[in-house]
């Protein structure tokens, strides 16, 4: 029973990863790609780690995969924020159908 639950959690995580990568291919702009890929892949990899913990229990593999989850949740949005700010200052234009530019308005 608990094996089936773990495999279902890993399946959800892998589906999030795949959709994030499809978004990385399909979307038109750096910022759109960053938004889709970072959110989906962070949640998907955390799902994979939690599924590995559920499957393997309290041995070294399970505990270390449980430790990985807060580190991914802390580091991935920070890296995405730094990349978005760097891309804006580097001079990458927004997509020509984008309506708002709040960073430019607030500066």
CA torsion angle for 88, 90, 96, 99 (degrees, to 10)? 20
Residues 20, 39 contacting (CB under 8 angstroms): yes
Q: Give the pair of three-digit tokens for residue 35.
A: 């938004």
Residue 73: alpha-carbon gap to chain centroid? 9
Three-class SS state of 97 = coil
Nearer to another protein, 5 or 18 (CB): 18
Binding mask 20-49 for another protein (x = CB under 8 A): xxx-xx----x--xx--xx--xx-xx--xx
CB of residue 58 to another protein, shortest distance in Å: 13
Name the site residues for another protein (rule: CB under 8 A): 7, 10-11, 13-14, 17-18, 20-22, 24-25, 30, 33-34, 37-38, 41-42, 44-45, 48-49, 52, 55-56, 59-61, 64-65, 67-68, 71-72, 75-76, 78-80, 82-83, 85-87, 89-92
């Amino acid at each position: 029973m608990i094996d089936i639950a773990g495999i279902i959690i890993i399946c959800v995580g892998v589906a999030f990863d795949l959709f994030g990568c499809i978004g990385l291919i399909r979307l038109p702009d750096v910022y759109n790609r960053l938004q889709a890929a970072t959110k989906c892949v962070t949640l998907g990899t955390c799902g994979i780690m939690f599924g590995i913990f559920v499957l393997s229990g309290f041995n070294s593999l399970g505990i270390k995969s449980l430790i990985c989850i807060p580190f991914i949740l802390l580091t991935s949005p920070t890296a995405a924020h730094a990349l978005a700010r760097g891309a804006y200052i580097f001079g990458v234009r927004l997509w020509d159908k984008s309506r708002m530019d709040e960073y430019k308005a607030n500066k």
